[in-house]
Amino acid sequence: MIETKDTEFKDSELGKIPKEWQVKSLEELGDAIIGLTYKPEDLVENAGILVLRSSNIRGNKLSFKDNKYVDLDIPNKLLTKENDILICSRNGSKNLIGKCAFINKENEGYSFGAFMTVYRSKYNPFLFHLFNSHLFKKQIFANLGATINQITSASLRSFKFAIPTNKEQKKITSILNSIDKAIEKTEDIIEQSTKVKKGLIQQLLTKGIGHTKFKPTEIGEIPEEWGYVSLEEITIKITDGAHKSPPTYEHGLPIATVENMRNDFLDIESCRTISKEDFDELVGNSCAPVKNDVLLSKDGTIGKTLVFNQESKIVLLSSIAIIRPNLHKLSSEYLMYYLQSNLFYWNLEKFRSGSAIKRIVLKDIKRLAIPLPTIEEQRKISMYIGSIDRKIKTETEKLGQLQSTKKGLMQDLLTGKVRVKVDEEEAITP
């Protein structure tokens, strides 16, 4: 729980700020250092010094999945130090300008590229939260180059913020860091649960539950008792939505595309609406899903899938396939998990002859081969995988709440709208 205090405000060049706070430029608080310039012939494989680039920042943390190394004598100033903030200062996408990561002790000693900037200050534990706020983004977009997406070191140094007292900085940093730790822990649980789910799908869709005898198939061994059939044999209908998009009609009825698909439902509120006449025509053309249909995105984003169980009336565009199982032979949930498995993509690749899968056509969906347990075993398999899915959903909702809480706290604490109580006040001493 945050203990707050009453606030007296004063006028400043940034507007009203708490009377104890001071307006400071980044130049007054620290130094902005442009990164290393190197040539292609300076690059080496793994043996040199890692050069951090924009691709090494993911979700405000360092990522080491796309590394470049150089064999150079690099000045100490261009090597990362604990508490540095690494900032993307130049990029082809202006939306990536300003993304940043905090350098901890274990990530000291790396260099950073010329399109990156390191900001070095003893106030960085607090400033890192400012750099991830709208207060920083607002100044970035006000100072972007006219022709090149970049923030120069001179521009960065000129950014101004209302800075709390030293003790209040530490208290605010502690509060926001605690939220960050909870967010990181929740993200880790989601990541690990997703890996468990992926492995469980692969195991259960090829080995089943409690089987000891297996037979060979093109996907490997499956239980002897199982079938291995095309999807067309065990479905009532495989179709898709409208191939012609009706005009928008305000206050009409919803039509969905891939963009409206969420993890387990169609987001009706985000759908465009069309007239009742167009809607009824599409319903007559089998473009409306019914309960227990499995929906699969087949254009644009490939492989999103869900079981449709909503009461709302809705029609679909052709980017979504509608698969209607014969429920006496095929469980909707089992089919959904099959469509999330590597088996599905392996089958698709057979039809694509090695070319990249950019869209799925209905004839390929119809001839997809699927391992087929009894309907009772399908339900048990779906129940096991579903328990992991529910955990992922719960943690994802928790993550959203934590992120929303953090956003609100940043808005309140970094502007002085809400003050934290400290034992005694002390001016900043840059």
Residue 55 inside a domain? The answer is yes
The last residue of a domain, from among 146, 162, 178? 162
Residue with tokens 């967010």: 183
Name the domain boundary from 106, 132, 162.
Answer: 162
pLDDT for 348 equals 83
Report pTM: 0.86
Q: Is residue 217 situated within a structural domain?
A: no
Domain that holds residue 249: 227-372
In tens, the pLDDT along 95-111 reads 999 999 999 999 999 99
Output the DSSP codes for 389-401. Answer: HHHHHHHHHHHHH
Dist. CA 197–CA 184, nearest whole Å = 20
Domain's final residue, options 339, 357, 372: 372
Q: How confident is the model at residue 422 (pLDDT cuts 50, 70, 90)?
A: confident
In this prediction, residue 248 carries a pLDDT of 97
In contact, 24 and 160? CB cutoff 8 Å: yes
Q: Please tell me whether residues 104 and 44 are part of one structural domain.
A: yes
- pLDDT > 80? residue 5: no
Residue 2's pLDDT is what? 60
323-379 pLDDT, tens digit each? 999 999 999 999 999 999 999 988 887 776 545 667 889 999 999 999 999 999 999
Contacts with 222 (C-beta within 8 Å, 6 or more apart), sequence order: 206, 207, 208, 214, 215, 228, 371
Over residues 192-238, the pLDDT tens digits come to 999 999 999 999 999 999 999 999 998 889 999 999 999 999 999 99
Of the candidates 138, 132, 171, the residue with the CA atom closest to the CA atom of residue 20: 171
Total number of domains constituting the chain: 3
| pLDDT attached to residue 350 | 75
